[in-house]
Amino acid sequence: MAKPPPEEFDVRFRGIWGSQLWLRTFEEAYRGEFPREAAPLSDCTWRTLGDMVAELRLNPGSILVDIGCGQGGPGCWMARALNCELIGIDHSKVAVEQAAETAKSFNIAERSTFRLGFLDATGLPSESAHGVIMVDSMPFAESRTAVLGEVSRILAPGGRAVITVTEVLDWNPEKPKGVADWTPLVRAAGLTLTKKIEQSGVFDRTERLFTLWREQRDALAIEIGPEAAELTYQDAEMVSPWVNKRRHVMLVCEKLARFDVATDR
Ligand SMILES: C[S@@+](CC[C@H](N)C(=O)[O-])C[C@H]1O[C@@H](n2cnc3c(N)ncnc32)[C@H](O)[C@@H]1O
C-alpha cells in the first residue's frame, strides 16, 4: 500500500498542534498511561519512555537521534531525562518546525536540532549517533531493510537503537504481509537484537481511542479541521482490523563495538 506523503502528515500535525480536545481523547483512552507533556502521535506510553531509558543506556552529552520524530515530544522527553543532544529527523516540514517549538518548551532548544530527512536517508554522518529511537515510524518505511541499514550506518559502535514495530501473529507464507519475526532483518543490517520487549495493552488503548474519535467526530472536525479529522478516521478504520492480529514489540538493537565483533569470531 502507498505510504502517506509528507504533505498528509503536515495536515495532521497542523491540525492537532495545541488541541486540548485531541489530547483529552488520548488521556481518556490511555487511562493514566499517556505522557501528556510529550504528546506523542503514537502508542508511546509512560512505560515506553521508561523502557527506552532503560535500554538506550546513554551517558550525558551523548547524541540521540529520533527518526520519524513527528512533533518531537518523545525525543525531547528522552533528551531532557538523559541530558543528551537530540537530532530529530522527519519528512514533514510542519513536524520539524513544531518539534523545534517542543524542544523550547522542554528547555532543551540549545542542544536539539530538527531536520528534514527520510527514514532510510537521514543525511547524518556514519557512526555519529550513540542512540536511536523510532517510535511508530517504521510502519511508514518503503523498505524495512533500507531503514534498518540506515540505523546501523549512523550508529556508533556500541550504540543502541530502540524501535517499536509489530509482528504478525498468524503469518501466512502464501500471502506474505508484514513481518513475522524481525530477528533476521535486524541481523542482516549488521545489528544484534538484544531483546524484544512486548508492549502490552495496545489493542485496548487504541480501541478506546478510536471509539472516542468516532464519538467526538463533529467536535474534532471543528477543533483540528475537517481535513485532519478525515485523515484521523481513515487511520482508525485502517488500523482497527489488524491491531489485535499483531504482537506489538520494542526491538532493542545494538551495534557491536569493534572489540566485541573481533572477540565474537
Ligand atoms: C506515527 S508518527 C510518530 C511520530 C513520533 N515518533 C511520535 O511518537 O509522536 C510517524 C512519523 O513518521 C514520519 N514519517 C513517515 N514516513 C516518513 C519518511 N519516509 N521519512 C521520514 N519521516 C517519515 C511522519 O511524518 C510522522 O512524524
Write out pLDDT tens, residues 204-261. Answer: 999 999 999 999 999 999 999 999 999 999 988 888 888 888 999 999 999 987 766 5
Kindly tell me the burial class for residue 146, based on how many C-beta atoms sit within 10 Å of its own C-beta (0-12, 13-18, 19 or more). middle
Predicted confidence at residue 265, as pLDDT, reads 46
Asked if 144 and 77 touch (Cβ cutoff 8 Å), the reply is no
Q: Identify which has the larger pLDDT, 85 or 170.
A: 85
The whole-number pLDDT of residue 227 equals: 96
* Residues having CB within 6 Å of any atom of ligand 1: 9, 40-42, 44, 68-70, 73-74, 90-92, 95, 118-119, 135-137, 140
Question: pLDDT tens for residues 103-160?
Answer: 999 999 999 999 999 999 999 999 999 999 999 999 999 999 999 999 999 999 999 9
pLDDT at 213: 93
Residue of 250, 252, 248, 163 lying closest to 205 (CA atoms): 248
Q: Sorting pLDDT into bands at 50, 70 and 90, what band is 91?
A: very high
Tell me what pLDDT residue 135 has: 98
> From the CA of 70, how far away is ligand 1's center (Å)?
5
Q: Specify the DSSP class assigned to residue 94.
A: H
CA of 36 to the centre of ligand 1 (A): 18
Top mutation candidate among 91, 97, 122, 165 for ligand 1, by most atoms within 8 Å of CB: 91
- The confidence score (pLDDT) of residue 48 equals 98
pLDDT score of 119: 98
pLDDT of residue 89: 98
Asked if pLDDT for residue 264 goes beyond 60, the answer is: no
Closest atom of ligand 1 relative to the 135 alpha carbon:
6
Q: Using the mean position of ligand 1's atoms as its centre, give its distance from the Cα of residue 108 in Å.
A: 21
Rounded Cα–Cα distance for residues 19 and 71 (Å): 13
Whole-number Å distance between alpha carbons of 43 and 142: 21
In this predicted structure, the answer to whether residue 41 has a pLDDT above a threshold of 90 is yes
Q: In what order do the strands lie in the sheet with 112-116?
A: 112-116, 85-90, 63-67, 129-134, 155-168, 246-254, 192-198
Look at the alpha carbons of 55, 147, 150, 105 in this order and tell me if their dihedral is positive or negative.
Answer: negative
Map grid coordinates 478506546 to a residue: 208
Least confident piece of the model among 4-13, 59-68, 98-107, 165-174:
165-174
pLDDT in tens, 163-182: 999 999 987 777 778 899 99
CA-closest candidate to residue 42, choices 247, 255, 202, 188:
202
Give me ligand 1 centre to Cα 260, in Å.
33
Pocket test for ligand 1, best of 90, 97, 106, 136 (most atoms within 8 A of CB): 90
Contact 90, 68 (CB under 8 A): yes
Which domains are delineated in the chain?
Answer: 6-118+126-164+176-264 (3.40.50.150)
64, 49, 67, 51: which is closest to 194 by C-alpha? 51
pLDDT of residue 262: 52
